[in-house]
């Protein structure tokens, strides 16, 4: 759980840039990550809700409105789930294995 949360947390440290159009909407990215974790079963529903709440709190601290976060997150979630829908069971399994491997990558410490 720590790695997914860390990656999600890192994405929201630059939420202000996302609002200015300089980066992709980071709330959407969070929603897409949530969709992948949900489909792949990497986290429980409770863990996913806690991660979403933490992402939202961080984005609010960075000046993103609750409405903008919710809309972006939902769009990312919907888009992420839609990308998994047409995949065969084998393709989902392969994609989930790749995502799990990426989640194990250790990020450099500051």
pLDDT, tens digit, 9 for 90 and up, residues 36-87:
999 998 889 999 999 999 999 998 988 889 999 999 999 999 999 999 899 8
The whole model's pTM is what? 0.71
Give the total number of structural domains in the chain. Answer: 1
Computed over its alpha carbons, how large is the radius of gyration of the chain?
14
Question: Measuring CA to CA, how many Å separate 47 from each of 41, 72, 110?
Answer: 11, 20, 26
30 assigned to some structural domain: yes
* In a domain? residue 36: yes
List the domain range (segments joined by +) for residue 9: 2-14+22-103
Residues 63 and 43: their CA atoms lie apart, in Å, by 28
Please enumerate in sequence order all residues whose Cβ is within 8 A of that of 77, keeping only pairs 6 or more positions apart, or say none.
31, 32, 34, 35
Asked, for residue 74, whether it belongs to a domain, the answer is yes
- Is residue 64, in this structure, part of any structural domain at all? yes
In a 3-state reduction of DSSP, which class is residue 48?
helix
């Amino acid at each position: 759980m720590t790695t997914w949360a860390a990656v999600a947390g890192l994405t929201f440290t630059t939420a202000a840039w996302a609002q200015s159009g300089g980066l992709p909407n980071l709330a959407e990215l969070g929603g897409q990550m949530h969709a992948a974790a949900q489909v792949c079963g990497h986290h429980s529903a409770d863990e996913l809700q806690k991660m979403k709440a933490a992402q939202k709190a961080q984005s609010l601290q960075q000046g993103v409105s609750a409405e903008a976060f919710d809309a972006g997150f939902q769009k990312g979630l919907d888009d992420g789930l839609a990308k998994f829908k047409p995949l065969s069971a084998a393709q989902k399994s392969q994609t989930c294995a790749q995502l799990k491997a990426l989640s194990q990558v250790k990020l450099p410490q500051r």
